[in-house]
Structure 1
């Protein structure tokens, strides 16, 4: 029986080659052969589920301030692509629904890893809104939730116990160990630097390290047959996987 391939999860889409967390980045990741998409969700001032990594729009748009202090209409006026390259000027900040609809149109059947960005701002009711969205939208892909904020994982698990949950962490994994012991999560998404030092000490869980961007780290993940890797460069990861794992 052939061993399973290490899954390639595109971090914020093809973040290394397109403006992160935009529709062009997600489309490029699919074209590059990614098995999964990782992205981040926040809430706007008027209660819309917004796809962006940072709590503020400053770094990846021509705007300023927190997402939670802007309405959807205000966020849609911002340029989320020009900072990366003039070719992407005018690219808009997407909503969760716009990303999901893109994946449906592309007949994507891989992993959709949605990180709730609740570790700094505890958006009131975001877990219920996310669960409600997916309870009312039939999707062809596998949904995976993750968060640095353990309470978000616990709340979502109560709302959608059949969905896969994974815990993110950089150095300490006390919360992750507890959630795994309670069978709330089944996998860890740790920093690749942490993994290189500690992976032999981890319990036998699904490992999908982040952010795996160098050939050296990609080869490390493939050699040890980790469940997956999260990368800004899904195209490079795919080429190396063909060489090392044959697919």
Structure 2
């Protein structure tokens, strides 16, 4: 049975047993949800084994026409089409509210202007999100807590914590919303990975592991392998290196966002299947719906 549907079947059985209504306000299919009771379930799911089936991670939530990046409505739109990890970005306002925003300014992605860190949340709430073509939508910038609450029972979030955001505040929000089983924290250095692990040894981490030297340095940190998804970069890794990680039960994330997505759009979406055949378990992509369709075939 395909591994990504096990959690969905679990959620379906709960809703039958307890009469729960569909938690999606926009009709995403239950079979596209990822729902876990605890972090142990999440770690078991993301262990590379014979039951693993490839999946996608929607970069910045998966922007599409009419659906801006880092918007809950966009996350739901993607889940109407495919199970997915939802990669999204945490920034902080002037009054220390954690919000979902990639850039240092709001100029590119909203109807407003200014640096996120110079704006209060009250001001940010007056802006509307814009899609990649600059079209203004009816959607607003969500807070981290709103996204964490939304994700429970639906998706696993891979959270990109921007440099102006204290780790303590992110962990407090995760604990307050009891969403530990639905988050993976992105790190860009082993020092960051070690710090987060020291602060909460249960949470899953995305760690950049692109070659054997980086793998050996990771092993020296003492972070358990079951805590980790291996981000192998934005260019293809040697298949033997992917196999080495697989032998340890570690799932790999290949960043197709950027050049590899552009190549697939130009040369044919069949390239996504080739990335998977080469050992990529999860494709972190700006084209999650297109990529998922191909790798499920």
Q: How does 1:39-58 map to 2 (within 5 A)?
A: 39-58=88-107
Unmatched runs of 5 consecutive residues or more in structure 2: 2-49
TM-score, normalization: structure 2? 0.68
Q: Which residue number corresponds to residue 146 of structure 2?
A: 98
> What is the aligned counterpart of 2:113 among 41, 59, 64?
64
TM-score, normalization: structure 1? 0.80
- The DSSP-based 3-state class of the residue aligned with 1:132 is helix
How far apart, in 1, do the equivalents of 2:205 and 2:68 lie? 27
> What is the aligned counterpart of 2:170 among 126, 130, 136?
130
- The DSSP-based 3-state class of the residue aligned with 1:192 is coil
Q: Which residue number corresponds to residue 76 of structure 1?
A: 125
- The DSSP-based 3-state class of the residue aligned with 1:79 is coil
| Structure with the higher helix share, 1 or 2 | 2
Q: Which residue number corresponds to residue 182 of structure 2?
A: 142
Higher alpha-carbon deviation: 175-184 or 15-24? 175-184
- The DSSP-based 3-state class of the residue aligned with 2:68 is coil
How far apart, in 2, do the equivalents of 1:91 and 1:137 lie? 23
Q: Determine whether 1:19 maps to 2:19.
A: no
- The DSSP-based 3-state class of the residue aligned with 1:153 is helix
Instruction: Note the C-alpha offset of 1:31.
Output: 1.0
Aligned length: 231
How far apart, in 1, do the equivalents of 2:81 and 2:181 lie? 17
> What is the aligned counterpart of 1:154 among 194, 208, 227?
194
- The DSSP-based 3-state class of the residue aligned with 2:296 is helix
Kept in 2, the 8 Å contact 1:82–1:91? The answer is no
Task: Give CA deviations for 1:44-70 in whole Å, capped at 9, x if unaligned.
Answer: 111111101112212112322321111
Instruction: Note the C-alpha offset of 1:140.
Output: 7.9
Q: Determine whether 1:164 maps to 2:204.
A: yes
How far apart, in 2, do the equivalents of 1:22 and 1:164 lie? 23
- The DSSP-based 3-state class of the residue aligned with 2:151 is helix
Kept in 2, the 8 Å contact 1:168–1:189? The answer is yes
Q: Give the RMSD, CA atoms, in angstroms.
A: 2.8
Unmatched runs of 5 consecutive residues or more in structure 1: none
Instruction: Note the C-alpha offset of 1:138.
Output: 1.9
Detail structure 1 runs of 4+ shifted over 4 Å in the superposition: 171-177
Higher alpha-carbon deviation: 93-102 or 215-224? 215-224
Q: Determine whether 1:227 maps to 2:289.
A: no
How far apart, in 1, do the equivalents of 2:177 and 2:276 lie? 34
How far apart, in 1, do the equivalents of 2:139 and 2:125 lie? 9
How far apart, in 1, do the equivalents of 2:275 and 2:281 lie? 9
> What is the aligned counterpart of 1:192 among 215, 226, 234?
234
- The DSSP-based 3-state class of the residue aligned with 2:56 is strand
